[in-house]
A and B are shown apart, each in its own frame.
Chain A
Amino acid sequence: MKRRKGTRSENPMDVGAGSKPRPSVDAYFDRELCPDTIESLLDSMRRSRTERQRFDDTQSMLDDLRAPIDAPDVSCRILGEVGERRGWLTTGQRRMVFVGRLATAACLLLVVSGLLLVRRNNPQAFRAADATGPVSGVVAATGSEAEAGIRAIGDQLRTFERICEPAVADAASSVTSCDSLCGKVRAVTVSAPQDFSMPLSPGLGEWLGAGNVKVVVVVSRTAPGDLAPAGADETINQWMIAPGQSFRLPSYDAPMATGPRQMNVADWTTSAGRIR
Chain B
Amino acid sequence: MNRSAERKLIEKAAAGDKSAATKLIKAHQGSLYAYILRMSGKPEMAEDIVQDAFVRVLMHLDRFDPRFRFSTWLFTIAKRLYLNANQKLKPHYDTEIVGGWDAEAQSPSAPAIRAEVETNARGCIQKALDSLSDEQREVILLFHQQNWSISAIARHLDMPEGTVKSHLHRGRQRMRRLISEDQQQSDLVAEVWS
Taking Cβ atoms with an 8 Å cutoff, the residues of A that contact B are 6-8, 10, 26, 29-30, 54, 57-58, 61-62, 64-66, 68-69, 71-75, 77-79, 81-83, 85-89, 91, 93-94, 97-98
Contacts and interface: CB of A to CB of B under 8 A. Distances in A.
Contact of A79 (B15, B18, B144, B180): B18
A69 B33 contact: yes
B90 interface: no
Contacts of B134: none
15 contacts: A8-B165, A65-B140, A68-B30, A71-B33, A71-B50, A73-B26, A74-B50, A74-B51, A75-B26, A75-B29, A86-B59, A89-B17, A91-B17, A93-B16, A97-B15
Given A79-B21, A97-B15, A26 B29 contact: no
Which residue, of A10, A29, A87, A88, has the highest number of chain B Cβ atoms within 10 A? A88
Contacts of A88: 16-18, 21
Interface string B116-156: 00000001110011000000000011001100001000000
Given A61-B125, A71-B33, A93-B16, A78 B166 contact: no
Contact of B34 (A64, A69, A78): A69
Contacts, number: 104
A75 B172 contact: no
Nearest to B35: A69
Contacts of B79: none
Nearest to A25: B172
A7 B166 contact: yes
Given A30-B165, A64-B123, A94 B16 contact: yes
Kindly list the 3 A-B residue pairs having the minimum CB-CB distance in the complex, ordered from nearest.
A89-B16, A71-B33, A88-B18
Interface string B155-174: 00000001001101110100
A30 B150 contact: yes
Contacts of B17: 88-89, 91, 94
Given A65-B140, A78-B25, 8 more contacts: A6-B170, A8-B165, A61-B176, A69-B34, A75-B22, A79-B21, A83-B18, A94-B17
B42 to A, nearest CB: 13
B145 A65 contact: yes
Contact of A65 (B58, B144, B170): B144
B145 A7 contact: no
Contact of A7 (B21, B162, B180): B162
Given A83-B18, A94-B15, A74 B29 contact: yes
Nearest to B46: A71
A57 B144 contact: no
A91 to B, nearest CB: 8
Contact of A81 (B37, B51, B128, B165): B51
Which residue, of A6, A66, A91, has the highest number of chain B Cβ atoms within 10 A? A66
B179 interface: yes
A61 B166 contact: no
Interface string B9-35: 000000111100110011001100110
